[in-house]
Structure 1
Amino acid sequence: MPPLVPCLPPGYRWQPSSPDDIPAIHALVSDCERESYGQVQSDAGAIAADFHRPGLVPELDTGLVLDSAGRLVARAWVNRRCEVDVHPRHRGQGLGTALLGWTLARARQTGTARLVQTVPDADTAAAALLRTHGYEPLVTAWLLEYVMPTEPEVPEPPEGITVRPFREGDGPAAHILIQDAFDEWQERRQGYEEWATHTVQRPAFAPQQSALAFAGDALVGVALALNAPGTNDGYLEQVAVRRDQRGRGIARLLLRHTFRAFHRTGQRSCTLWTHSDTGALDLYLRVGMTVRHSSTVYRKDLTVYRKDLTVYRKDLKE
């Protein structure tokens, strides 16, 4: 199957990406995040994990846009969901439109039924572009923060519950608990290797700041934390409590343990993302977290075909 190549504005060229490009991609994403959020939020490990998505073929499902000097100025990937990043200095040139068209064409080529993309609410131009081409809002996502000028207090655990940091070997049990908890709203379960590349195998994973709750020997709650290099934040990647143990204050207990652990290593705030499908926003607000930023997850139904954008061609020779 020949690769699809977007028809880019003059002065730009396209090439597939590979894991060797992770540092350059992270630098691009960092510049985009500074523009949208005022600081970097992603780490190189998050970029690397995307290359391990099941079924993703880098030479077909990813791409980089270079300017005439060979500098990376935009990138995109598509694999049931998609991401498009255009450097702030190169916006307004038609790159976003070209890459959006490429993601749609590639998704249709693989028979994808629906495509989703997350856009910061502050990026009104990107949101308008998605809406223009048939994307509709699916869920709202919030980046929450807990500010810690002093060391957070940790409540007494519920009867029969103990808490300790993550240890080597805890990954498989944590994976099962989290997938079971997230089944309520996530589209599909992640296999262990895919999940681990986004969490416990990432270089930024912080085991000593990650808190696990047990009832006897049974794992009943997890809060997995990451370091956020270059910021004063700790970060919570995933929080989950076993269904039959909810309503006992275990999630609040795990959060407080993680907040305190980050405070003791010098961080003065801790952040996490949640979205409207999880129903967890009220919990985090009750713990004392506040909304720092919001984004919207957009979805497009691809089962009804129409030629949205003629901004790609089938191979580099055409």
Structure 2
Amino acid sequence: MAAPHLPAGYTAHPIDPPADRPRLHDLVTAGRAALGLTEAVDPGALDIVLKRDGLDPAADVLLVRAPDGELAAWAWTDRRTGVEVHPAHRGRGLGSALLDWTERRARERGDTALTQTVEDLDPAATALLHAHGYRPKVTNWLLEIPLDDVELPPPPDGVTVRPIRAGDPADERAAHRLGEAAFADWQERPKPFEEWAAFHLHRATFAPERSPLAFVDGRLAGLLLALERPGRTDGYVQTLAVDREFRHRGIARHLLRYSFAACRRAGLTHGTLWTHSGTGALDLYLKIGMTVRRTTSVVGKDLTAN
């Protein structure tokens, strides 16, 4: 794979995860701070990228160092792609060079499309992606709710609810099956259990006591998986899914209240989650009192178009 065409003095390097993890964390934190986003960066985010099924870190991830040796930018590609440039090194063509590199690498891999998420607070990044042929696909909303008045009523009739049993193969496999089926219409591809579990269950911030499962006649009907937010006062819902057969029975609403009540008992002040325009779930969250904190957009490029 040819190296990207970088400005003078900048050099491309493969990733060394143990050594580069803190530098990447600092790069992402600086990028967020430049947009006025002060929340802590998930320390496991890099591991989630590197564990994507089909991603080869040696070939599909690239770091760029500045003339002084500091990390200036990085990129990865695996159908989804990510490009991030340190604020101190923007405006020098690094973002454009890395977007070109991700596209060339994707074509080598045989990928037919690329998608990337961009902060709506970052119009320069949005304009750059549009200039490279990316077009809007989905809107994401980060929602929040204060936990002062969260109450936990009884579950809907015929529904029993309990926390997931972390490490229990039966619970984990059932959760994987339901989660994949519930989001099949919106996902880019099915995720094998190991990749799905690494993203949801097998990370240091997974919070099983805030992650309820709902059952109807012994069958898993719905789930909510939550994460800790180190250094923050909000509890985070990573995913919420209800089996199609059991929708419109109040299960999703009850699972949210269950998790938010657990967050409040833990001394947290807000509950947060992301949803996107493809799910049609925004109205549910607004009706229970959540409000939009910020938005991002998913943009995509068709690599088969001439």
| Alignment length (residue pairs) | 302
Q: Which has the higher relative contact order, 1 or 2, with Cα contacts under 8 A spaced 6 or more apart?
A: 1
Q: Which residue of 1 aligns with 2:143?
A: 144
> Offset at 1:151?
4.8
Residue 61 (str. 1) matches residue 68 (str. 2): no
Residue 114 (str. 1) matches residue 113 (str. 2): yes
The CA distance in 1 between the partners of 2:58 and 2:303, in whole Å, is 22
The CA distance in 2 between the partners of 1:177 and 1:201, in whole Å, is 17
Residue 166 (str. 1) matches residue 174 (str. 2): no
Equivalent positions of 1:35-54 (< 5 A) are: 35-36=34-35, 38-40=37-39, 42-54=41-53
SS in 1 for 2:35: helix
Gaps of 5+ in 2: none
Q: Which residue of 1 aligns with 2:275?
A: 274
SS in 2 for 1:185: coil
User: What are the Cα deviations for residues 78-118 of structure 1, in whole angstroms up to 9, with x where unaligned?
Assistant: 00010111111221111111111111111111121110011
Structure 1 contact 139–298 (Cα < 8 Å) conserved: yes
Structure 1 contact 163–211 (Cα < 8 Å) conserved: yes
Structure 1 contact 4–60 (Cα < 8 Å) conserved: no
Structure 2 contact 156–251 (Cα < 8 Å) conserved: yes
SS in 2 for 1:56: coil
The CA distance in 1 between the partners of 2:41 and 2:223, in whole Å, is 22
Q: Where do 4+ consecutive residues of structure 1 move more than 4 Å?
A: none
Q: Which residue of 2 aligns with 1:245?
A: 246
> Offset at 1:28?
1.5
Q: Which residue of 2 aligns with 1:12?
A: 10
Gaps of 5+ in 1: 306-318
Equivalent positions of 1:84-103 (< 5 A) are: 84-103=83-102
Structure 2 contact 139–276 (Cα < 8 Å) conserved: yes
Structure 1 contact 45–198 (Cα < 8 Å) conserved: no
Q: Between 171-180 and 22-31, report the one with greater CA deviation.
A: 22-31
Structure 2 contact 53–191 (Cα < 8 Å) conserved: no
Equivalent positions of 1:1-318 (< 5 A) are: 3-20=1-18, 21-36=20-35, 38-40=37-39, 42-148=41-147, 150-168=148-166, 169=168, 170-305=171-306
SS in 1 for 2:156: coil
The CA distance in 1 between the partners of 2:291 and 2:256, in whole Å, is 14
The CA distance in 2 between the partners of 1:204 and 1:4, in whole Å, is 37
> Offset at 1:213?
0.9
The CA distance in 1 between the partners of 2:293 and 2:45, in whole Å, is 21
> Offset at 1:279?
0.9
Structure 2 contact 79–114 (Cα < 8 Å) conserved: yes
The CA distance in 1 between the partners of 2:149 and 2:30, in whole Å, is 32
The CA distance in 2 between the partners of 1:4 and 1:144, in whole Å, is 41
The CA distance in 2 between the partners of 1:274 and 1:294, in whole Å, is 10
> Offset at 1:153?
0.5
The CA distance in 2 between the partners of 1:18 and 1:173, in whole Å, is 35
Structure 1 contact 151–260 (Cα < 8 Å) conserved: no
The CA distance in 2 between the partners of 1:295 and 1:17, in whole Å, is 27
Question: Could you state the TM-score of these two structures normalised by the residue count of structure 2?
Answer: 0.95
The CA distance in 2 between the partners of 1:92 and 1:207, in whole Å, is 43
